């Protein structure tokens, strides 16, 4: 008998032949919690992967009119950002339940082999200060669930005070990412790994750094599309 990693209720295993033969997997979360996650299904935006009746959503069209045009090949995500996912991500990131990364292993592997096979996996980094505070990088832990080679090719400067800048600079925000391993990422096709795609700014800022350093195509895999 084990406890659900999310709600801590006992997980009642359905005992059948697979378990009897030792083929069954240990359930990490209970059926009630599992049912509260909402997967992205149906028609998607070709760009950001959100559920969308059009092939390209308005957000992605907007990106194509900026300096980031073509920087990110596409993003694919597994889950919607519903209120339950919001809670789970808070447990994971802010309360430091690093073990929660494991509950997404199967789904991460599935989406990786469907859309990102043979790409170099680069997790979105945290700044050193944030990493110290949190104790782990949530994106790296998610990447590790794939059981493939990972390169921590990017790093992040401390987010300092905003300096005086023009309006357009302020809107895009400062790009704090830098390439930590230029030799490894050069000429590679890369998939960025992150927990959530919200506006798409993070993925693009990371991608543009990699492109400037000689990487070829950059796409992103995020657990959640908000
Ligand atoms: Zn549960
Ligand atoms: Zn889109």
Half-sphere exposure of 189 (CA within 13 A, CB side): 9
Q: How far is the CA of 28 from the centre of ligand 1 (A)?
A: 9
Ligand that comes closest to the CA of residue 11: 1
**Residues, Cβ < 5 Å to ion ligand 1:** 4, 6-7, 30, 33
pTM, to two decimals: 0.89
Distance, CA of 220 to CA of 151 (rounded, Å): 14
pLDDT at 98: 86
Q: How many CA atoms lie within 13 A of 30 on its CB side?
A: 13
pLDDT value at position 170? 45
Distance 113 CA to ligand 1 centre (A): 27
Give the pLDDT confidence score for residue 13 in this predicted structure.
64
pLDDT tens across the length of the chain (226 residues): 789 999 998 887 666 555 555 555 678 999 999 999 999 999 999 999 999 999 999 999 999 999 999 999 999 999 999 999 999 999 998 877 888 999 999 999 999 999 999 999 999 999 999 999 989 999 999 999 999 999 999 999 987 655 545 444 444 578 999 999 999 999 999 999 999 999 999 999 999 999 999 999 999 999 999 9
Kindly give the distance from the C-alpha atom of residue 62 to the centroid of ligand 2, in angstroms, as a whole number: 9
The whole-number pLDDT of residue 167 equals 47
Distance 89 CA to ligand 1 centre (A): 14
Closest to 75 in 3D by CA, of 211, 210, 199, 216: 199
pLDDT score at 168:
47
CATH code at 38-158+174-225: 3.40.50
Sequence ranges of the chain with CATH classification 3.40.50: 38-158+174-225
Output the DSSP codes for 39-77. Answer: B--SSB-TTT--B-SSSS-HHHHHHTTSTTTTT---EEE
CA of 183 to the centre of ligand 2 (A): 31
Q: Rounded to an integer, what distance in angstroms lies between the CA atom of residue 207 and that of residue 218?
A: 6
């Amino acid at each position: 008998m084990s406890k659900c990693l999310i709600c801590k209720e006992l997980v009642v295993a359905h005992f059948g032949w697979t378990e009897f033969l030792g083929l069954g997997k240990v359930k990490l979360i209970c059926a009630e919690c599992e049912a509260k996650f909402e997967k992205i299904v149906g028609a998607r935006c070709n760009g950001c992967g959100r559920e969308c009746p059009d092939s390209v959503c308005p957000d992605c069209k907007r990106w194509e009119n900026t300096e980031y045009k073509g920087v990110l090949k596409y993003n694919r995500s597994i889950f919607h950002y519903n209120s339950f996912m919001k809670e789970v991500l808070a447990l994971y990131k802010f309360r430091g339940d690093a073990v929660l990364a494991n509950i997404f292993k199967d789904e991460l592997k599935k989406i990786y082999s469907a859309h990102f096979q043979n790409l170099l996996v680069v997790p979105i980094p945290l700044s050193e200060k944030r990493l110290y505070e949190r104790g782990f990088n949530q994106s790296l832990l998610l990447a590790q669930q794939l059981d493939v080679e990972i390169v921590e090719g990017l790093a992040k400067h401390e987010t300092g005070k905003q300096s005086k800048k023009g309006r357009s600079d302020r809107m895009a925000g400062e790009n704090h990412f830098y390439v930590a391993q230029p030799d490894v990422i050069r000429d590679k096709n890369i998939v960025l790994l992150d927990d959530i795609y919200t506006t798409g700014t993070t993925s693009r800022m990371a991608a543009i750094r990699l492109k400037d350093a000689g990487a070829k195509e950059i796409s992103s895999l995020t657990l959640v599309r908000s």
